[in-house]
Amino acid sequence: MLPTLYVAVGACSLAQHIALEWIGKPYDAARVALGSKELLAINPAGAVPTPGEDDGWVLKQAGAIFDYLASKQPEAGLVGSDSRRAKAEAQSEAARRAEVDAEHKQAAKQFDILNRHLERREYILDGRRSVIDAYSFSMIRWAKKLLPGGLQEFRNVRALHDRLAADTAVQSVLTRVTAG
């Protein structure tokens, strides 16, 4: 039985998938949907990347997965040189990536709260736009670009974004900002 990497389209499992290709050893890539029953049975967090070994052992954290793959196949040379500095830099970068992943998860939780709050509302405060909407618009634009999956899961947040993006004052500011 081959080691298996559980992957999802558009997810950060792409990085581990590339590393496995670079290693050049046989493996299976099993496509799963994030949060699906199949994935939850393997990883209770419902997230990828999740590599599994033939003995049933599963690893669930991106940085740890990179470290495991690189140390399991040192001949692939995926951690740079063998120097202490190279190893420290690799660990530092893995920690930074883990922080970014945690920030994305926290941001997604906040957008979920906002999405529920916007149910049957046009703006964040009842009845009309406010400075909170202006601030949220900039955060929503950021999230569209940087969150894995963008705002796909947040229908009401997307509607607020579109409503604000159609606002003539917002369009005027965006035009001035992008022109200069």
3-state SS assignment for residue 150: coil
pLDDT at 78 over 80: no
pLDDT at residue 159 in the model? 96
Residue 87, H or E segment: helix 84-117
pTM above 0.95, yes or no: no
Q: Give me the torsion for CA of 32, 44, 143, 93, rounded to 10°.
A: -100
pLDDT at residue 145 in the model? 84
pLDDT at residue 140 in the model? 92
pLDDT at residue 81 in the model? 66
Rounded Cα distance between 160 and 123, Å, is 7
8 Å CB contact between 79 and 87: yes
pLDDT at residue 115 in the model? 94
**β partners of residue 52:** 4, 58
Q: Which residue has the tokens 């558009």?
A: 10
pLDDT at 128 over 70: yes
Q: Pick from 97, 108, 117: which is nearest to 34 by CA?
A: 108
What is the bridge-based pairing of β-strands 28-31 and 4-7? parallel
Rounded Cα distance between 151 and 162, Å, is 12
Q: How far is CA 175 from the centre of its chain?
A: 30
pLDDT at 47 over 80: no
Structural domains in the chain, CATH included, are 4-76 (3.40.30.10), 100-179 (no CATH)
Q: Give me the torsion for CA of 34, 40, 42, 44, rounded to 10°.
A: 110
